[in-house]
Amino acid sequence: MNDVAAAAGVALKTVSRVVNEERGVNEATAERVRQAIALLGYRRNDGARVLRRGRTASIGLVIEDVADPFYSLLSRAVEDVALGNGSLVFTGSSGEDSLRERELVLAFCARRVDGLIIVPAGDDHGYLVPELAAGIRAVFADRPAGPGLDVDTVLCDNTGGARAGTAHLAAHGHRRIAFLGDNPAIFTAEERLRGYREALASAGLAYDAALVAMGTPQQERLHADLARLLALPDPPTALFTGNGRTTVTALRALEALDARPTAAGGIAIVGFDDFELADMLSPAVTVVAQDPANLGRTAAELLFRRLSGETGPAERLRLPTRLIARGSGELPPP
């Protein structure tokens, strides 16, 4: 910048004015400065600018895993909103590891991002308190913050969705409905289990712990759980799966167990989360769909509203789910 000023024969401040397109600069002078800028290949250093101005025009996004379609859709929506607000986004995947979540968040804070969108892996966010006090805004998405943090949150209607999916199976005559969920330590997994139980109760069906299996959606584990379920004296005739990953993995496990449903019949399935090609399988898979892009957009818009000064108590939004009947959830019991 100094060089540009010297080359154009003006003061630093004038260069600054031209670069930032402030008005009140003689057009001839401005042109001279622009020439010098072009000649020297000068680019404004936004880092220094930030240091002086306080706002970084960047936000941090911490999710579980960008490679998961659910989160990649969410990311894209956040990105778009951020760009629309002139902001860049740091993305980080926590991999469901609360330590890594914390490291990422703190690294973003040290970079003085204006705000954060967090899909938390852990449930202790005490480490955020000083940052929030220092003025960094945060919005939690998909899962709430740990206790003691009063912060904007956008969740999906997990319980209602699971209730609707389970009720759908019950309405098609199933009385033995198994629940395959994610690790119960995960907020959404637990809420969905609750919805499942509520739907059973509404349908007058007894809750049977033997029909419930929860854990990380790994092939081997699901294979073992499904083998156990199918070997039960009174095996399930329907399956409610607690998230996209679990649905797909369960389908694979059923295939391996030679128990995958066909269009003609077999175990009925409803899955939480829509997924690519669910409509092309046979039978096509009935799902309770969330809208991850909507989740990301809503969270980001809320964040930017806060950043532009909107005050008021922490918001807690719930996004609806939608049951999409495609075939696998409408198979009758044998």
Encoded one letter per residue, x for contact with a copy of itself by CB under 8 A and - for no contact, window 53-72 reads ---x-x------xxxxx--x
Residues 6+ apart with CB under 8 A from 17: 24, 25
Pairing assessment for the beta strands 268-272 and 238-241 based on DSSP bridges: parallel
Q: State yes or no: residue 25 binds DNA (CB under 7 A).
A: yes
Nearer to DNA, 24 or 233 (CB): 24
Q: How far is the CB of 313 from a copy of itself (least distance, A)?
A: 24
Task: Answer whether 59's CB lies under 8 Å from 69's CB.
Answer: no
Site for DNA (CB under 7 A): which residue of 12, 83, 171, 314?
12
Encoded one letter per residue, x for contact with DNA by CB under 7 A and - for no contact, window 36-75 reads -------xxx--xx-xxx----------------------
Pick out residues in 277-306 that bind a copy of itself (CB under 8 A). 277, 280-282, 293
User: Which three-class secondary structure state does DSSP give residue 265?
Assistant: strand
- DSSP, residue by residue, 290-313: --HHHHHHHHHHHHHHHHTT--SS
Site for a copy of itself (CB under 8 A): which residue of 12, 51, 99, 185?
51
Q: State yes or no: residue 13 binds DNA (CB under 7 A).
A: yes
Pairing assessment for the beta strands 268-272 and 286-289 based on DSSP bridges: parallel
17 binds, among DNA, a copy of itself, none (CB under 5 to 8 A by kind): DNA
CA distance 286 to 27: 65
Site for DNA (CB under 7 A): which residue of 6, 7, 30, 143?
30
Task: Answer whether 114's CB lies under 8 Å from 71's CB.
Answer: no
- Tokens, residue 158: 């997990």
Q: State yes or no: residue 228 binds DNA (CB under 7 A).
A: no
Site for a copy of itself (CB under 8 A): which residue of 107, 203, 259, 323?
107
Q: State yes or no: residue 29 binds DNA (CB under 7 A).
A: yes
* Rg of the chain on CA atoms, in Å: 26
Nearer to a copy of itself, 128 or 212 (CB): 128
Q: Which of 89, 74, 201, 65 is nearest to 142 (CA)?
A: 74
Q: How far is the CB of 33 from DNA (least distance, A)?
A: 9
174: Cα within 13 Å, side-chain hemisphere:
30
| Cis? peptide before 283, omega within 30° of 0 | yes
Nearer to a copy of itself, 63 or 156 (CB): 63
255 binds, among a copy of itself, DNA, none (CB under 5 to 8 A by kind): a copy of itself
Q: Which of 68, 73, 80 is nearest to 301 (CA)?
A: 80
Residues of this chain that interact with DNA (CB under 7 A) are 1, 9-14, 16-17, 19-20, 23-26, 28-30, 43-45, 48-49, 51-53
